[in-house]
Structure 1
Amino acid sequence: MAAGLSDIEGACIEVGWLKERLVEIYEAKKAIPMLGPSSELRKTQTERKFKIQCTKALVEEYKREIVIREEELRNLEEKLRMAESVLSVDEEEATTAEMVIGEYKDKLRRIVELGSLHCGLV
């Protein structure tokens, strides 16, 4: 048909619109096998859709896991703050106890020293 149109064009008749329509029909005819239910294009499309669904499900699972882990992290951070608070109190009490023990040792040392001076005087 395209060859026949060339002859008509040679007769100075405008057939450009008809040529465009023939090209569209030809391209549509080539596309028909690619759009069939068993075509490779359809198979690829079906595989991609399935893969997309699987990936979306995986993304949602990861999001739920992140929420769970964030809650666990907040709980651990709270436990850490409490442990640090207890540690601070315990360290302060230990320091106070060491100071008291040091004071008692100093008192005992003075008494012992006084006792030895007393022995020397008598």
Structure 2
Amino acid sequence: MKDWWKIIVAAIFEVGWVIGLKHADGVLEWLGTAAAIYVSFYLLIVAGRTLPVGTAYAVFVGLGAAGTVIAEIILFGAQVNPAKLALIAVLLAGVIGLKLVTDEGGDEEWHGSH
């Protein structure tokens, strides 16, 4: 479970660096963006050592994308689009589903024939 937490924290840092890429103006903001990129990918790489890398990456990107959309709405007053929010919910359902069918040892659990 601790590796899934690494993915969640990595996704939070992903939101930070994606926002930084768009809004950074000064040296400190760019340094913060670079630090967020480093932490984000470091945690993803470490978690990928025990989790299936494809699943870990999909969860990382899905959470990052959802978090970025939500952050744009909350922090920058982006327009709330009900269709976009519904699609984010579908994305998050997929992320949760991936987590539920993946065990800690990196093996996919398939219900049915292989």
TM range (shorter): under 0.3
Query: TM-score, length-normalised on structure 1?
Result: 0.24
- Structure with the largest fraction of helix: 1
Question: Which of the two has higher C-alpha Rg?
Answer: 1
If asked which structure has higher relative contact order (CA below 8 Å, sep 6+), I would say 2
